[in-house]
Amino acid sequence: MELTKQGHACVVLGYGDQRIVVDPGVFTDPAALEGATAVLITHEHADHFEPQRLRAALDADPALEVWTNKSVAAQLEGLGGRVHVVGNGDAVSVAGLDVRVYGELHAEIHPDIPRIANVGFLIGGQVFHPGDALTVPDEPVATLLLPLHAPWSKISEVIDYLRAVDADQAYAVHDGLLNDNGLAVVGGLLSEKGPGTPTPYSRLVPGDSVEL
């Protein structure tokens, strides 16, 4: 399986002639959706989900399908069985891969801001994208897509999350709001300058790929 980092929270997983796109929001180049076999959306925030852009991709390819939570699906009405609603504990087949769904709510931004639905996806038993939550699956994770920075997080929570999941490796996502200085500081705390985790951490530049 090939993992390609796209802008901010989006990744593309390729294997054979299949391409699963996860969370192509407004900080992602629209070209990330070209050639997609399936799209997974963790939640409705614009940095993960851009309705018009996704509808355009669905209009362009009648075979393209989406898996997401109920809130996102409600914004994609009129597409019938091409939009699949999933929730915590579900197990589905997406483009020939087994996908397990974990989590229910977005991480708390502030007590005065209502929390929205958020689901994470464990794809092919290998790659876990938690969306905007620090959900720990109840099964081993080979590759964790680690939310590096957000208005709702602090670095101590990110380090503890990396420890809790105990994945074989982790790659950064949700890093589009950091400049080069911030990326260096946070990356150092997750590796050689931090308190330590069991999981090797790396960051791909958008457009870069790695074989899993």
- Beta strands in 16-168, from DSSP E residues, in sequence order: 18-22, 38-40, 65-68, 83-85, 91-94, 97-102, 120-123, 127-129, 143-147
Give the burial class of 183: count Cβ atoms within 10 A of its Cβ; 0-12 exposed, 13-18 middle, 19 or more buried: middle
User: For the chain, what is the largest distance between any 2 Cα atoms, rounded to a whole number of angstroms?
Assistant: 50
212 occurs within a structural domain: no
| Contact status, residue 33 vs residue 39, Cβ threshold 8 Å | yes
Tokens 């997401």, residue?
A: 68
Parts of the chain with a pLDDT under 70: none
What does DSSP assign to residue 32? G
Cα pseudo-dihedral 166, 180, 26, 117, rounded to 10: 30
- pLDDT tens figures, 107-123: 999 999 999 999 999 99
211 occurs within a structural domain: no
182 occurs within a structural domain: yes
CA distance 57 to 54: 5
- pLDDT tens figures, 172-182: 999 999 999 99
The count of other CB atoms within 10 Å of the CB of residue 178 is 16
The CATH number given to whatever domain includes residue 188 is: 3.60.15.10
Domain region containing 173: 2-204
Can you give the pLDDT at residue 80? 84
123 occurs within a structural domain: yes
210 occurs within a structural domain: no
Can you give the pLDDT at residue 196? 94
Can you give the pLDDT at residue 147? 98
| Number of domain units in the chain | 1
149 occurs within a structural domain: yes
209 occurs within a structural domain: no
